[in-house]
Amino acid sequence: MNLSFGLVKTAADDQADLLLAREAHWLRELEEVRELEGQVPRVLEEGTVPPGRRYLVLSMLPAGGETRAFTEDHARFLASLRKARLRTLEFDVSGTGQWLSRSIGKARAFASQKQIRTLEASYGDCETALLYWTGPYVLAQGDFAPWNIRSLGSQLFVSDWGHAHADASPLDDVLHYLMIQRALNSRPVTVPVLRQAMQQASEFALLAYPEWSWRPPVVGALTLVYLLGVVLDRSLRRGSIEPGDAVVDAYWKLLEKRSAWMPK
């Protein structure tokens, strides 16, 4: 009899079923990326248990430290993700652009007219700023945050890939790492904080994706893409644009103040 020891995840509802299916899919694909060997979990087993809920057995998380700073190791890991998926696209035909457009349509079922106007205007600003820009869209981990990352010397071990998605902006994971910690802890996510995150994301992009232009208006527009994506994702799951959600509240205020921080 073969015994496998690992971390067992079992879905409790339909949403968790989808997350586990997505995690298994992307982890199997990442097995083929040599640069990420030993830095992501391996799928040991998957299947269903009564009453048809999905389960997933993953290799155990290694012992390691956690850091709140965005380091060269974080940048190197994210740069390696380009080996998994990369497409050069215009914004309006990218998976991200099309998902945002569809999601705003779905939000009409529960959002107020004023909220819809803010969402549509934000999306319009993304389209305008990225109209003549063709750039890389890649695989994003989707919740790239300290609690999902272990530091192993000069390498990282990154877990929880249920929110991973292709055709993402290469700035998404960087911005998420820098901003989600403050938002979840109800610390102010002010315009100066956002500008600092944009600067770090720009520096990352210049090093990891030097083949493309990273002018300030492009970085600003992709930052708006990130904020809009997080607001829509969390709101669609709740069925409302909930001001009681600390992340939605913080990011929504930045959407409303976008003229103050988006480069012209």
Kindly report, residue by residue over 175-218, the tens digit of the pLDDT.
Answer: 999 999 999 998 999 999 999 999 999 999 999 999 999 999 99
Average pLDDT, the chain: 94
Residue 96 Cα to chain centre, angstroms:
11
In the three-class reduction of DSSP (H, G, I as helix; E, B as strand; rest coil), residue 13 is classed as coil
Q: Give the C-alpha separation, 144 to 21, whole Å.
A: 19
Instruction: Check pLDDT > 60 for residue 3.
Output: no
Mean pLDDT, residues 44-63 taken together: 91
pLDDT at site 99: 98
Mean pLDDT, residues 94-116 taken together: 97
Let me know the angle formed at the C-alpha of 208 by 41 and 213, rounded to the nearest 5 degrees: 140
pLDDT at site 5: 53
Mean pLDDT, residues 119-138 taken together: 97
Mean pLDDT, residues 125-138 taken together: 97
Q: Give the C-alpha separation, 100 to 102, whole Å.
A: 6
Mean pLDDT, residues 63-85 taken together: 92
pLDDT at site 237: 94
Contact 121, 175 (CB under 8 A): no
List, in sequence order, every beta strand (DSSP E) within the chain: 7-10, 43-49, 53-58, 86-90, 134-140, 149-152, 155-158, 165-168
List, in sequence order, every beta strand (DSSP E) within 51-162: 53-58, 86-90, 134-140, 149-152, 155-158
Q: How confident is the model at residue 6 (pLDDT cuts 50, 70, 90)?
A: confident
Q: Give the C-alpha separation, 250 to 187, whole Å.
A: 9
Q: How confident is the model at residue 2 (pLDDT cuts 50, 70, 90)?
A: very low
What whole-number percentage of the chain has pLDDT above 70?
A: 98
Mean pLDDT, residues 239-244 taken together: 94
What whole-number percentage of the chain has pLDDT above 90?
A: 90
Work out the number of other CB atoms within 10 angstroms of the CB of residue 3.
4
Instruction: Check pLDDT > 70 for residue 48.
Output: yes
Token output for 21: 């299916």
H/E element, 74: helix 72-80
Q: Which residue bears the tokens 């740069």?
A: 79
pTM attached to this predicted model: 0.94
pLDDT at site 264: 83
Contact 226, 172 (CB under 8 A): yes
